[in-house]
Amino acid sequence: MKKVYLSFLLAGFAATASYAQHNTKPITFGELPNEASLKPTQSQNQAKALGVTIFEDLFDNGSNWVIDNDGQPGGAFGWTIDATNDGWWSTNGISSTSGGGYAELSNGDAQASTQALDVTYTMTSIAINVDSLTQDALGTATNLVTLEFEQYGALFNDEQTIQISTDGGNTWEIMRDNRDYYEVLSASGGDPYPNPDLITIPLGPYLTGAYTDVRIRFQWTTAFPQFSTNSAVWITYGWYIDDLRINTNPDYDAAAVAPYWGTAGLNYSRIPGTQVAPIDFATFVSNDGSNTLTDVTLNVDVNTGGWTGTSTPVDIPVLTTDSIGTSTQYTPASTPGSHSFTWEVTQNETDDVPANNIITGDAFDVTEFVYAMDDDVIDGSTGNGGFGFEKGNFYDIWADQTAYAIQTKIASNAVVGSIVYGKLYRWDPTNATTFADALFYEQQTDFYEITQQDLSGGLLTLPLLAPTSLTAANNTYFVVVCSDGDGGASDDVQIATSGISPTGFSYFYAADDDAWYLQPQTPIVRLDFENTIGLEELSNVSALNVFPNPATDEVKVSFDITDASDVKVTVMDITGKAIETVVDAANVTGMQNNTVNISDYAAGVYVINITTNAGTIQRKFVKK
């Protein structure tokens, strides 16, 4: 395999807390949507066909729980257990199966800016003797049990974790962090949790020693303690819990976990035919039942029988997770076309919970020129509150090819007249200790002023200032769309998003923090290899290069005259007005190297104009 999975590679940069690229950036109060403006979301989870319920709480009262609200009075601050909705965001709270009382987490009213700061709220169960309860229910003690509960809410800048202790509450282990399963809900996109959302967590892996004193804890705090003085990081929509049970496991239950498809760690919605490479399919499988699973196999079907792949069958013991992948790879044809696939996990035994064996299918297109990671349908927007940013995606190059443009879509909430542009970086983490260290500038586009028409969601093509050769040897490139911002005076540039990026696929630079962050929502930022964007060539000029670009003090212009010719090189502003003549010579041949002093130029876009006996060629550069 040509390189390791990118998210694993980037994890190596987490040596110090200063590497902010491994966090998302907190969002602002102005990005809060109202519950009433959201479309309902249906739960995709299905109830497990479990054995016997050994513990149940429908939250009709709080007798099974110990609440610590960190000095806050309860009600709208911290955990409560009753049938009254205390929060500011949800009108009716959770629509749980049992109805009646429920547990609710609140932290003031974000609309009135009354949220408490520097708080951690916990709701902890009484001691649960799993050993004794399973002995009574089954005639034998076992740790093969599963926690289930219903929840509702949404994520903003908060952290919602479910934890377990097996030693009387002295030590705790996080079993689930909701931020690992849901995207943030803001005016830019995202969804609340299904109402209700059924959550199941196998407890067996955590009950490895004594399990006579098991405690479950629901904990809420900010996900951004490094910004603890910022009241926005303490906002919550609320978190609702009801209908909690601990059940014995079913006889047989294989659960597909973290499925992956793609090439060397990345997958795309659109792949140019020149960049087609063999595709892997793999998943982890967890044995959440009570007996060994035999001949567990991953089965993949592409284009309804056009290609099928299977993994080597494996046996998976109880309380074990194993990884399986197809023994052959799928290499799509390089001609344009659509490719869709279905996949599932099977085993010899009849699965008591078959729904979690079937993995949601996916699809991608092979194109002529466009490389894309997004799903194409706009589902939100992303910016940086009017401050400068760069946002984009990684693209792998498997065959040398020339890039000509960067494509994007502008969101409807962008400000007309704002300036947007694109950049292309080469990615090389060999000696890097931070994300920024691994980025090497290759090229950028011209500056573009957003029009009213751009807000309709059409595709915007930003030509690179010069054709740029991308090589398979370098392999990975990072393509971004940028804004220099307006100092926070308006929303400025807003880029459309489509879909959710797996961790490590998309990133953004926040100029106000001078830091790189994860970009959870996939920005519509694409790489275009089509040479129809007005970058002309001349028959007697080769190896043309204008660098550095952007530049501050000087620009070097180099090119090779392959046939003797008169040559004139001039610098023009963006309106076509001549600024200065760099070269005006007769009968020139061979490599030409020229330096242009631009220290006195005003910031902006300029044009290098080269005229020979064969015609005229132009390249733009940016003065910073």
Domain of 114, CATH number, reads 2.60.120.260
Contact 534, 430 (CB under 8 A): no
The answer to whether residues 439 and 298 belong to one domain is: no
- The tokens of 83 are what? 């049938």
The answer to whether residues 234 and 263 belong to one domain is: no
Helix (H) or strand (E) holding 403: strand 401-409
CA distance 374 to 526: 8
The answer to whether residues 40 and 189 belong to one domain is: yes
CA distance 159 to 270: 34
CA distance 106 to 439: 42
Beta-sheet strand order (sheet of 495-500): 380-382, 495-500, 521-523
CA distance 131 to 232: 44
Last residue of a domain, one of 528, 557, 590: 528
The answer to whether residues 242 and 263 belong to one domain is: no
Give the angle subtended at the CA of 533 by the CAs of 529 and 536, to the nearest 5°.
105
Helix (H) or strand (E) holding 8: helix 6-11
The answer to whether residues 550 and 596 belong to one domain is: yes
CA distance 131 to 112: 48
CA distance 166 to 216: 9
Contact 384, 510 (CB under 8 A): yes
Residue 480 lies inside a defined structural domain of this protein: yes
Residue 533 lies inside a defined structural domain of this protein: no
The answer to whether residues 199 and 108 belong to one domain is: yes
Strand stretches in 249-313, DSSP E? 254-262, 270-272, 280-287, 293-302, 307-310
CA distance 508 to 481: 9
CATH label of the domain that carries residue 582: 2.60.40.2550
Last residue of a domain, one of 248, 274, 298: 248
524 phi, psi to nearest 5 deg: -80, 90
346 phi, psi to nearest 5 deg: -125, 165
Number of domains the chain is built from: 4
Quick: pLDDT tens for 488-504: 999 999 999 999 888 88
pLDDT of 39 reads: 36
CATH label of the domain that carries residue 310: 2.60.40.10
Report the predicted TM-score, pTM, of the whole model to 2 decimal places. Answer: 0.78
- At 330 the three-state DSSP class reads strand
Report the 10 Å Cβ neighbour count for 286. Answer: 21
CA distance 317 to 302: 30
CATH label of the domain that carries residue 482: 2.60.120
Residue 287 lies inside a defined structural domain of this protein: yes
pLDDT of 18 reads: 31
pLDDT of 498 reads: 94
Task: List helix spans (H) across 29-86.
Answer: none
Quick: pLDDT tens for 326-381: 999 999 999 999 999 999 999 999 999 999 999 999 999 999 999 999 999 998 89
Q: What single-letter amino acid sits at 66? A: V
Quick: pLDDT tens for 398-426: 999 999 999 999 999 999 999 999 999 99
Give the angle subtended at the CA of 52 by the CAs of 258 and 49, to the nearest 5°.
45
The answer to whether residues 436 and 497 belong to one domain is: yes
Residue-level length of the chain: 624
Contact 521, 497 (CB under 8 A): yes
Residue 1 lies inside a defined structural domain of this protein: no
Contact 107, 163 (CB under 8 A): no
Last residue of a domain, one of 528, 550, 565: 528
The answer to whether residues 482 and 559 belong to one domain is: no
The answer to whether residues 402 and 464 belong to one domain is: yes
The answer to whether residues 493 and 568 belong to one domain is: no
Residue 492 lies inside a defined structural domain of this protein: yes
Residue 499 lies inside a defined structural domain of this protein: yes
CA distance 373 to 505: 9
Q: What single-letter amino acid sits at 466? A: A
pLDDT of 575 reads: 76
- The tokens of 488 are what? 């926070």
CA distance 206 to 204: 5
Low-confidence ranges of the chain (pLDDT < 70): 1-50, 532-536
Give the angle subtended at the CA of 479 by the CAs of 474 and 485, to the nearest 5°.
145
271 forms beta bridges with 366
pLDDT of 576 reads: 80
Residue 109 lies inside a defined structural domain of this protein: yes
Cα distances (angstroms) measured from residue 211 to each of 258, 390, 516:
28, 50, 43
The answer to whether residues 280 and 243 belong to one domain is: no
Residue 330 lies inside a defined structural domain of this protein: yes
Cα distances (angstroms) measured from residue 177 to each of 90, 155, 158, 180, 298:
21, 11, 11, 6, 27
Range(s) of the domain holding residue 341: 254-368
- The tokens of 156 are what? 């903003």
pLDDT of 28 reads: 52
Q: What single-letter amino acid sits at 257? A: V
Contact 466, 546 (CB under 8 A): yes
The answer to whether residues 124 and 228 belong to one domain is: yes
